[in-house]
Amino acid sequence: MTIENEIKQQVFKNPYHKLAVNLMFTHSWFMSYIKMVFKKESITPNQYNILRILRGSSPKPLSTLQIRERMMDKMSDTSRLVDRLVIKKLVTKKVSKADNRLVDVEITENGLKVLKKLDDIEDKIASMFKNLSVEEALHLSNLLDKLHTNKASSANASNV
């Protein structure tokens, strides 16, 4: 279904306006599905992102600053997210031996078990795009890369 039919709007100011609206709509659709998948394990997409980051660095701990640098959502409150994962016993945190101003975070066995349960998530996510060919998926991914590599437009967002 086209964006025009989905939101019942036939006219856009220009192709870039249509693209912006389509990206916002698609983001909402995608995140609704993702949240539903993660709800089964009582975690959020950002918490899942942290667990994956920590699994990738394991057995080496990461500071909350290092986690934030690797997160998809750079504006997330990493400390708060880590605290919630500690409560769920999915990660541990302790003062860094190298720098007592930093907190080291490590994934626990429980955290690894949750990730193992969610390992098939890539297949579930991929199924959302089954109407695209491999070539179309790669092309769309390349176009999105091209969009978000233009850091200047992001920096100017505060001037809007």
Q: pLDDT truncated to tens, each residue of the chain (160 aa)?
A: 788 878 888 889 999 998 999 999 999 998 898 888 888 878 899 999 999 999 999 999 999 999 999 998 877 799 999 999 999 999 999 998 888 888 999 999 999 999 988 887 777 788 888 899 999 999 999 999 998 887 655 555 555 5
Q: Report the pLDDT value the prediction gives residue 155, as an integer from 0 to 100.
A: 55
Q: Are residues 47 and 115 in the same domain?
A: yes
Angle (CA) 74 79 82, round 5°: 100
Q: Report the pLDDT value the prediction gives residue 128, as an integer from 0 to 100.
A: 85
Q: How many domains are there within the chain?
A: 2
Asked whether residue 105 is domain-assigned, the answer is yes
Angle (CA) 28 32 37, round 5°: 150
Residue found under tokens 């693209």: 19
Q: Are residues 57 and 15 in the same domain?
A: no
Burial class (CB in 10 A: 0-12, 13-18, 19+), 57: middle
78, 71 contact by CB (below 8 A): yes
Q: Are residues 24 and 72 in the same domain?
A: no
Q: Are residues 32 and 55 in the same domain?
A: no
Q: Are residues 13 and 52 in the same domain?
A: no
Burial class (CB in 10 A: 0-12, 13-18, 19+), 107: buried
CA 7 to chain centroid, in Å, comes to: 25
Q: Are residues 30 and 49 in the same domain?
A: no
List, in sequence order, every residue forming a beta bridge with 105; answer none if it has no partner. Answer: 62, 93
- Which pTM was predicted? 0.79
Asked whether residue 5 is domain-assigned, the answer is yes
